[in-house]
Structures are given as C-alpha cells and as structure tokens.
Amino acid sequence: MKVKRRSLFLGAAAVIGGGGLYATSRLWRADSLNPQPLQIPPLLDSRSSGQSVSLTARAARTQFFAGRESPTQGYNGSYLGPTLRLYRGDDVQISVTNALASDTSVHWHGLLIPAEVDGGPHQLIRPGETWRPVLAVRQPAATLFYHPHVHGQTAAQVYSGLAGVLLIADDSQRDLGLPDEYGVDDLPLVLQDREFDDGRMVLPPGMMTAMQGRRGDTLMVNGTPHAVARVPARLVRLRLVNGSNARIYELSFDDDRAFHWIATEGGLLDAPVQLRSVSLAPGQRAEVLVDFSDGRKTTLVTAPDANASMGGMMGPPGGGSDSFAGGPAPVLMFEPGLAAVAEAARKPIALQLAKHERVDVSRAIKRRRFTLDMGMGGMGGGGGLSINGRAFEMGRIDERVRLGDVEIWEVSAQMMSHPFHVHGVHFEVLRRGGGPPAIRDQGLRDTVLVKEPVELLVRFTQPAREAPFMYHCHILEHEDGGMMGQFVTD
C-alpha cells in the first residue's frame, strides 16, 4: 500500500493491470494500515467428523480491507480453506466439490499417498463434479499444505485464495508436550503476498511476472493484511506455511529473539535447533516454538526477496521488483496476553523430538540430474521455462523409477533460486554447492530451495502406476510455464 515502485520497470503491467489509475482517498489509505486481528482458519478434524472431510471450491468476494471487496476463491469460505487435521493410521474419505466455473484439482502437498489420489493435473475435477479420494495417512506428524494443481492455472487459482493447511497428527507424539491447542498456542500461519489497488486485490499480469513470479505489495497471514496475533504469554508453536506464488521469506523477529525450529516439511527434527532466522521458499513449511512469556510485543519480519531482481540482471540497480526492497517488512505482530497462571506447568522443550531411521547413501542405485531452466541463460536453454530444456507435457513421462528404490537427484538452477518440489516422496539434502549441507537443510523435506546445486537422497515409497507424480519449481508461475516434469514408479 505504498507508492508503486513497480511502475519503474513493470510499466506495461501497471497499464494493463490498471495499477495506479484509481483515485485513492488518502484517508482510507491511512486507515488501511491499521493492524487487523489475525484470522485463524476453522479446524476440520477427521476424527470428530466420522473420518470424512468435505471441501467445496467456490468463487466469492472478500473484504481484506473494510469497505473494499475483492473477487476471490476459497474452500468452504471466501478465501483460503479450513485447516484439515488427519491422523496417522487413519483412512479418511475426502470429498471435493468443484463449484467454480473452471476445472480445478486439490493436491495434498507433502502427503505420502499413491499418485492416483495425489490431486495433480491428472485428477481434474470438472465444474459441478465431486472428487472422492480415500487418503490413507501413514506418515509422522507434520504440517502440510493443499492447493489446486491444474496445469497452467495453478498460479491464478492459488493467488485467488485456493489453498489450506493440512495437519497430520500422531498420537505417539503426545508425550513430547509440544503446544497443540489449535488457534491458541498452536497457530497455522499461511504467508502470502498479494497486490492491492485501492484496497482491492489484483492479479499482476505480464511477461515479467511470468518470469520472476508474482509478488505483491501487501503481506498477509491467513488472508489478514497487517495481521496482529494475540497469544498467551508462554511457549507457542507457529506452523509457518509459505503459500505465496513466488516470494521467498527470510523470517526473524524485530527484537532479534531466538526461537526453536522443531519441524520441516517431513515432520519433527531429531532435536530442536535454536535459530534467529528461518527462510521459507514457496511450498515450504517450518514449525517453530517461540517463547512469549516475557509478555513483550514483537513482530515477525521478513527480509526483501533477493529473487525478485532475478540475480540483479533485470531490475534497476540494487532494487528489484520487491515492494519491500527497502528493508525488513512486518509479516505478523504478536501481542502476548497476561502471563499464564500455570507458569509452573511450563515444560522445557524436549531434547529429543523424533528418531528417524537414516537411509544409507550407499543404497542409492542411481543418479539423475535436473536443471531448472529459464531458457535464457545460454547453455542448453530450450526456450522458456523447462527442466533439462524440456517444457512440461501432460502426455510425456520424463522419468521411470522403481518403487522402493533410493536415488540421488542432483538439481541445479538457472538465473535465480528455484524451490524444487517432488510429489510423493521425502528426501534429505546430502550436499549443497558441492559441500556439506547447511544447518537449515537438515530433516526430511519435500521442497528445497535450489540456489547452488544440491544433491538429494530421495526414497520412492509410493506407487505411481495409474498416474504419474510431478516434480517442479514451486514458483507457481514457473510451474505453470513448464518448469515441471513427471515420473512413474513401477
């Protein structure tokens, strides 16, 4: 909600999108910067609903700012969807009804399930239809993410609001005593940036957004701009989900407080790791524990997204198309309540969170190489967004893997950093930039940011016979533009 810097170099987009053409009331503008209470998506718990969960995707209107309506889409609501809680060991009957005017699908990002129920571009739901997969949940507790995956439409559908949090709960982890009161000391936080014009959400079009990915001038959490969260003055679990189309967050607190990182995309780490900042690329999740018992207000902030300037090659010097290029931007304010009576009940954080059986690297029987290609870096560019020079094609299977195998995937990136995501697997980062992985690379992942080349140890445990699994860049404009491939396991 500031002077549009993008008009400097996204001039075409500004004209097409109508940016800056509205007469804005200054008064309203000041008002729009007022903090708003953080919305918490309703919780749909599969065990309290007889192991069946229903979602309906529909078009709606949302007031992100009082008196300003935006056309949006949501699941069971006007923007985003409910948080689904499924339990390890359960089989859950899902039904997804498409009340939109266009095809959609719902992909369970991070769920280890067979490809035919994965919700990728091959499991389209036509308008008016209902899709009924049964999800067999067989993985440890984790924070996952669901969203549409229609080829060519994913970016626009997610941008307009179709996404939600999927929690896997695991009874065996109760003893750890981690905060788990949903919406109180256990908060799902979907981080998104959106572009607003006079308080109304707009979809930035144009060639530059296709190449750089869509970023917006307003940071929202769970669909709330300038959000403030009331939290109890104790240890609180934040489940951070990057639901943005393209923005990479580098998150820290404005008072530089330390926190404990406890879980990756794949679930709990072996042990908590004390950090002062955590980075989150599109599609990634992180769970952290933050101690608010000092009762002080603090703000979660993000550093500018270095990716926005495409390695400095296309933006103005030192700038880039990030509206927040000027410095750390507030993501979410925290206002702790009064210190809890139960100060005595405060447990220390468990030193051991999970025990993961390690897969021996020597079990990897094959190496594959993937280059996330922008088609303009010279070397082997096949023209446009692609992987290994080939743009995505629904009818082409790119890789064939044997079910049960372990492989090493070497992934490198052109022009900018790309978050690489693989469906139906967990992997570990073995090497980064030719050396050992970074501290923040540890744990089981399904999405990794590829800046320097990485080597991933991937286990293929899920069948993909009737339909393939996808692997792709999770900058949604890149995925839609063809930076995606598919594999089967047989």
Q: Scan for tokens 């990756």, then name that residue.
A: 264
The first and second tokens of residue 424, run together, are 């139906």
Q: Which residue is nearest to ligand C2O (CB)?
A: 109
Rg (CA), the chain: 21
* Residues 235, 288: Cα–Cα separation, whole Å: 10
Other C-beta atoms within 10 Å of 205: how many? 15
Interface region with Cu ion, contact rule CB under 5 A, candidates 61-69, 170-178, 410-418, 448-456: 410-418
- Write the CB contacts of 306 (distance below 8 Å, at least 6 apart in sequence): 248, 320, 417
The distance of closest approach from Cβ of residue 282 to ligand C2O in the complex, given in angstroms and rounded to an integer, is 8
Residue 208 binding target from Cu ion, ligand C2O, none, CB below 5 to 8 Å by type? none
The reply on whether position 41 binds ligand C2O by CB under 6 A is no
Q: Most distant CA pair in the chain: distance in Å?
A: 65
**Partner from ligand C2O, Cu ion, none binding residue 285, C-beta < 5-8 Å depending on class:** none
Cα 11 from Cα 22, distance rounded (Å): 16
Applying CB under 5 A, does 472 fall inside the site for Cu ion? no
Among 80, 156, 475, 484, binds Cu ion (CB under 5 A): 475
Residue 445 within binding range of ligand C2O, rule CB under 6 A: no
- Residues with Cβ < 8 Å from 447, sequence gap 6 or more? 265, 281, 282, 283, 284, 419, 420, 421, 474
Label residues 213-229 b or e (16+ Cβ within 10 Å = b): bbbbbbbbbbbbbbbbb
Cβ-based nearer residue to Cu ion, 111 or 364? 111
Sites for ligand C2O among residues 382-421 (CB under 6 A): 421
Of these partners, ligand C2O, Cu ion, none, which one is at the site of residue 283 (CB under 5 to 8 Å by kind)? ligand C2O
Q: What is the DSSP letter of 470?
A: E
> Residue 473 binds which entry of Cu ion, ligand C2O, none, with Cβ cut-offs from 5 to 8 Å by kind?
Cu ion
Query: What secondary structure letter does DSSP report for 254?
Result: T
SS3 48: helix
Stretch that binds Cu ion, among 178-186, 243-251, 395-403, 477-485 (CB under 5 A): 477-485
Partner from ligand C2O, Cu ion, none binding residue 472, C-beta < 5-8 Å depending on class: ligand C2O
| Stretch near ligand C2O under the rule CB under 6 A, chosen from 18-26, 269-277, 436-444, 468-476 | 468-476
Minimum CB separation of residue 444 from Cu ion in Å reads 14
Question: Is residue 237 involved in binding Cu ion (CB under 5 A)?
Answer: no
Using the structure block, give the residue that is written with the tokens 């979660």: 300
Stretch 283-312 residues interacting with ligand C2O (CB under 6 A) = 283
| Burial readout 298-327 (b: 16 or more C-beta within 10 A, e: otherwise) | bbbbbbbbbbbbbeeebbeeebbbbbbbee
Per-residue binder mask for Cu ion (CB under 5 A), 71-110, x = binder? --------------------------------------x-
Q: Rounded to the nearest whole angstrom, what is the least distance from the CB of residue 453 to Cu ion in the complex?
A: 15
Out of 407, 478, 480, 484, name the contact with Cu ion by CB under 5 A.
478
The least distance separating ligand C2O from the CB of residue 472, rounded to whole angstroms, comes to 6
Residues 73-112 that bind ligand C2O (CB under 6 A): 107, 109
**Applying CB under 6 A, which of residues 300, 470, 483, 488 lies at the interface with ligand C2O?**
470
The answer to whether 153 touches 103, Cβ cutoff 8 Å, is yes
**One-letter amino acid for residue 272 of the chain:** P
SS3 265: coil
Compute the least distance from the CB of residue 114 to ligand C2O, in Å: 15
Give phi and psi for 237, each to the nearest 5: -95, 125
Task: Candidates 214, 423, 459, 472: give the one binding Cu ion (CB under 5 A).
Answer: 423
Size of the site for ligand C2O (CB under 6 A): 10
- The smaller minimum CB distance to ligand C2O, of residues 10 and 473, is found at 473
Q: Which is nearer to Cu ion, 5 or 109 (CB)?
A: 109
In the list Cu ion, ligand C2O, none, the entry touching 122 (Cβ below 5 to 8 angstroms by class) is none
Q: Which does 149 bind (CB under 5 to 8 A by kind): Cu ion, ligand C2O, none?
A: ligand C2O
* Other Cβ atoms closer than 10 A to 363: 11
Q: Does 478 bind ligand C2O (CB under 6 A)?
A: no
Q: Choosing among Cu ion, ligand C2O, none, which partner's interface includes residue 239 (Cβ < 5 to 8 Å by kind)?
A: none
Structure tokens, 482: 């063809």
C-alpha distances (whole Å) from 56 to each of 100, 150, 443 are 9, 16, 34
Rounded least distance, CB 35 to ligand C2O, Å:
30
Neighbours of 257 (CB within 10 A): 14
From residue 244 to residue 273, the character string flagging contacts with ligand C2O as x (rule: CB under 6 A) and all else as - is ------------------------------
| Residue 70 Cα distances to 78, 79, 199, angstroms | 10, 10, 8
DSSP code of 365? Answer: -
Tell me which residues touch ligand C2O (CB under 6 A).
107, 109, 147, 149, 283, 421, 423, 470, 472, 474
